[in-house]
Amino acid sequence: MSYIIVDGISKTFKVTKRNSGLKSALKSFFKREYVLIDAVKNISFEIEKGEIVGYIGPNGAGKSTTIKMLSGILLPTAGNIKVNGMNPFADRRKYVSNIGVVFGQRSQLAWDIPAEDTFDLLKDIYKLSDEKYEKNKSELVNLLDIGEIIKKPVRSLSLGQRMRCEIAASLLHDPKILFLDEPTIGLDAKSKKIVRDFILKINKERKVTVILTTHDMMDIDKLAKRIILIGKGQILYDGSLEKLKTKYGSYKKITINTKENISDIKLKGIISKEKIDNGYSFVIDSNIITISKFINYLSNRYSINDMDIDNEGIDDVILKLYQDYEI
Amino acid sequence: MFFESIKMNIKSQLEYKSSFIINSISQFFIFFTFYFMIIALFQKFNNIRGFTVYEVLLCFSIIQFGFAFTETFFRGIDRFEDLIIDGRLDRYLVRPRGILFQTLCSEIDLVKIFRIIQALIIMVIALIKLDITWNILKVMVLIFMMIASILIFFGLFVLTASYCFITVQGLEVKNLLTDGGKNLAQYPISIYRKGVVFVFTFIIPYGFINYYPLLYFLGKTNNILYLFSPFMVLLFLIPCLLSFKIGLKHYNSVGS
């Protein structure tokens, strides 16, 4: 049996409809009108112990809602979740001592005092023994290189420093599952690297199962072997990143610098054409049309000043997925 | 854990020292005006429906004590909508402790501690002036009243916190229940009309925690049942806590 089993969950939000103005404000106090919004519709997947899964999708697709249901914050409107035999919402208190959650945009550290004080509080909250706490703390402090940082008031830290403290705070109790909701949002390159290396390390050494949502495709590229793509509350793709790459990896991006007007090209294998500042940008599928054939075709008809050939990054692959599924 | 949280809270508030001192002083003095008002009132009238100035002050200070205590130590529940809006509730939900307990620990309004002290000072003055014939039962009823006074505001805070799960708008209801009720209950409720007395006895049991035990305490009745009337507050707590539990199931969280 899988470690995490998500079976047909849905979440419907009741949102109060209200127009602006005093009159409607008064009206809404007495009689509310609701709109039902399906944030997540009938989602199912399973995750094995020790996996790193990237949970991706555009804004408003239902990522955070799913994470919140998985971490016991929200009760699904329908469907079942079983994690290690427990129901996150019903067995909340027992369940959450085995999970760590990092909300990238929400701090769990007290703002005005050093992070270390929050750590001490967490020790009490999770009822950790002195030895376990000290051992875990020093390990995390070393790995994340925050020895000095945790002694300063949190408000004086940079975003990257704070995020490292956040992650340490979420792992003090040695959880088996780690949920990361946009862990690298707004971080500089160095902090991103520290965070990513760290996630890989705890996954390998502590066998922590990691589920992360992100908009940064480099995160996915570096961390996740498997991705689940969600859009409009439904799962669109669930599988290996490699497979996705080979499917879309034959795509090449070719930028042509020309003053001429290129009309429609009647060749197979051209995925997209876009007019840019001083030329055009094409995406072609090199399995259908070779690059040389494509360039030959163009150079025979138009005068080309300059050109550039690029492999499509994972970013574009995902964008294309979004397009394919029209989300 | 509670003390660890309090320690942290105090540390945070002391980060801004001068603001803390000024607030404390103003808290302490502003609320004396309330007491002066009562005293001024009694300059005109000798008694209100048979209650003397110190009897009213005692009644007043017990309610003030409960309210100030709740506002100081249970501030997190008082400001529950903030917890929902800024997402801290999500954080509490992923920790292996009770939500109400964590909320209790979340915030302490240290400044308001001066209002507790103030209420206690007034209480002591009233008690001295009242010339009570003390016995163990009188001590008990006074302690019951003080505890019940804390619990009733706790219950009300929890009730309004539950309301936050439905909507974070329209919190005027809360002020009606707590502030309005508090202002009424500061005086012996027998001075009000029947309908008001009914609501503040059987719906929100201010009467049971304040008026009836006060009658016993002041020797206006010998009915021993009045001594135990503050326990009615426990009945009141049941629906409050239950509604919180139901509210939690309907929690929608906010987008990130």
List, as one string, the DSSP characters of A118-177.
Answer: HHHHHHHHTT--HHHHHHHHHHHHHHHT-TTGGGSBGGGS-HHHHHHHHHHHHHTT--SE
Distance of CA A94 to the CA centre of its chain: 26
What pLDDT is stored for residue A189 in this prediction? 87
Tell me the C-alpha distance between A206 and B102, whole Å. Answer: 29
- Chain A nearest C-alpha distance from B170 (Å): 7
User: In chain B, pLDDT over 90 holds for what percent of residues?
Assistant: 15
Please say whether the dihedral angle defined by the alpha carbons of residues B55, B60, B65 and B66, taken in this order, is positive or negative: positive
pLDDT tens digits, residue range B107-117?
778 778 888 98
* pLDDT at residue B15, rounded to an integer: 73
CB contact under 8 A, B97 and A16: no
Contact A23, A285 (CB under 8 A): no
How far is B248 from chain A, CA to nearest CA, in Å? 9
Q: Looking at beta carbons, which residues of chain B come within 8 Å of A32?
A: 167
Query: From CA B207, how far away is CA A15, in angstroms rounded?
Result: 39
The shortest C-alpha distance from A117 to chain B (Å) reads 7
Residue A174 with chain B: CB contacts under 8 Å: none
Model confidence band, residue B229 (pLDDT cutoffs 50, 70, 90):
confident
Q: Shortest Cα distance from A73 to chain B (angstroms)?
A: 6
Contacts of B109 (CB under 8 A, 6+ apart): B71, B72, B75
Read off the DSSP letter of residue A77.
S
Mutation for A interface: B19, B93, B104, B106, most A CBs within 10 A:
B93
Domains of chain B, by residue range, sit at 2-249
The predicted-structure confidence for B7-59, as pLDDT tens digits, reads as follows 777 777 777 777 777 777 777 777 677 777 777 777 777 777 778 888 888 88
Q: What is the CATH number of domain A49-245?
A: 3.40.50.300
User: Which among A25, A72, A153 is the nearest to B93, CB-wise?
Assistant: A72
Q: Is A211 helix (H, G, I), strand (E, B) or coil?
A: strand
- Is the per-residue pLDDT at B256 higher than 60? no
Q: How confident is the model at residue A327 (pLDDT cuts 50, 70, 90)?
A: low
Q: Using the beta-carbon criterion (under 8 Å), do B94 and A111 form an inter-chain contact?
A: no
Does residue A265 have a pLDDT over 90?
no
Q: Which of A37, A59, A73 is the mutation pick for testing B, counting most B CBs within 10 A?
A: A73
CATH number of the domain at A250-324, out of 1.20.58, 1.10.10, 1.10.287, 3.30.70?
A: 3.30.70
Residue B11 is predicted with a pLDDT of: 76
Domain residue extents for chain A = 49-245, 250-324
> pLDDT (tens digit, 9 = 90+) per residue, B192-201?
888 888 888 8
Buried b (16+ CB within 10 A) or exposed e, B125-159: ebbeeeebeeeeebeebbebbbbbbbbbbbbbbbb
Interface ipTM above 0.85: no
Strands (E), chain A: 4-17, 33-47, 52-56, 78-83, 99-103, 177-181, 209-213, 226-231, 234-240, 251-257, 270-276, 279-285, 306-311
Region of B76 (left: φ > 0; alpha: ψ -120 to 50; beta: rest) is alpha
Please give the pLDDT value at position A28: 60
**Average pLDDT estimate for A260-274:** 80
- CB-closest option in B5, B94, B102 to A101: B94
Q: Considering only CB atoms, which chain B residues are within 8 Å of A26? A: none
Mean pLDDT over each residue of chain B, to the nearest integer? 83
B102 to chain A: which residues are within 8 Å by CB?
125
